[in-house]
């Protein structure tokens, strides 16, 4: 069983719900007890919505119906495109400033992003050390940021990857 949780990790591990789930797993696979574990979904997702999470059972991970999509950064106009730029370009920003935001055109329909997100960047810095924070954010067509209820942050973005923060 795999789980993707939307709230803080201790709810899934240390509450009555989490401990009961773990004990059922251990009873089945460590003690060999014939319990109802076969009914447990192999993958249990919590899909983020504006007003919370919707729990959904799946049969595999990554999802077989995933449409793997590569997007390329275009430093000239700070867009995300399906094709890489022809020329090697660069974008510069101040380390303690607001950073850089790359955007897609407005999406034409509701889109679910479920699965691994990865990035490949070539970076140089004027300092000997640098931390990069990559954030996937959602904006309305009129460029208002859509934020979500989080466990520890009341208005987190859709997804955040940073040193020390697992994706």
Residues 79 and 48 in one domain: no
Structure confidence by residue, pLDDT tens digits, 49-102:
777 788 899 999 889 999 898 999 999 899 989 999 888 888 888 888 888 888
More confident residue, 154 or 123: 123
* pLDDT value of residue 5: 57
* pLDDT value of residue 25: 95
Does residue 159 have a pLDDT over 50? yes
* pLDDT value of residue 8: 67
* pLDDT value of residue 167: 44
Residues 94 and 143 in one domain: yes
Residues 45 and 71 in one domain: no
Residues 12 and 77 in one domain: no
Q: What are 70's two structure tokens?
A: 């590569």
Gap between the terminal Cα atoms of the chain = 19
Residues 104 and 129 in one domain: yes
* Cα distances (Å, whole numbers) of residue 16 to 10, 19, 40: 11, 5, 17
Q: What is the mean pLDDT of residues 6-34?
A: 86
* pLDDT value of residue 104: 86
Does residue 138 have a pLDDT over 60? yes
Q: How confident is the model at residue 7 (pLDDT cuts 50, 70, 90)?
A: low
Domain interval for residue 37: 2-58
* pLDDT value of residue 24: 95
* pLDDT value of residue 3: 47
The number of distinct structural domains making up the chain is: 2
Residues 153 and 78 in one domain: yes
Q: Are strands 72-74 and 79-81 parallel, antiparallel or unpaired?
A: antiparallel
Residues 70 and 51 in one domain: no
* pLDDT value of residue 83: 92
Residues 88 and 160 in one domain: yes
The backbone torsions φ and ψ at residue 71, rounded to the nearest 5 degrees and listed phi first, read -125, 140
Residues 43 and 7 in one domain: yes
Structure confidence by residue, pLDDT tens digits, 104-137:
888 888 888 887 788 888 888 888 888 888 888 8
Residues 79 and 47 in one domain: no
Residues 104 and 122 in one domain: yes
Residues 32 and 72 in one domain: no
* Cα distances (Å, whole numbers) of residue 82 to 79, 85, 122, 125, 167: 10, 10, 18, 27, 23
């Amino acid at each position: 069983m795999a789980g993707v949780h939307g709230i803080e990790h201790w709810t899934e591990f240390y509450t009555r719900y989490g401990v009961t789930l773990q004990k059922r797993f251990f009873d089945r696979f460590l003690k060999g007890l014939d319990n109802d574990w076969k009914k447990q979904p192999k993958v249990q997702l919590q899909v983020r919505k504006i007003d919370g999470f919707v729990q959904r059972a799946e049969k595999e991970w990554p999802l077989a119906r995933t449409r793997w999509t590569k997007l390329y950064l275009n430093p000239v106009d700070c867009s995300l495109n399906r094709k890489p730029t022809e020329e090697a370009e660069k974008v510069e920003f101040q380390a303690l400033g607001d950073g850089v935001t790359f955007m897609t055109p407005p999406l034409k329909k509701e889109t679910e992003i479920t699965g691994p997100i990865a990035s490949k960047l070539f970076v140089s810095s004027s300092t000997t050390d640098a931390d990069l924070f990559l954030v996937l954010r959602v904006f309305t067509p009129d460029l208002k940021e859509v934020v979500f209820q989080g466990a520890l942050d009341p208005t987190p973005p859709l997804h955040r990857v940073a040193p020390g923060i697992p994706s």
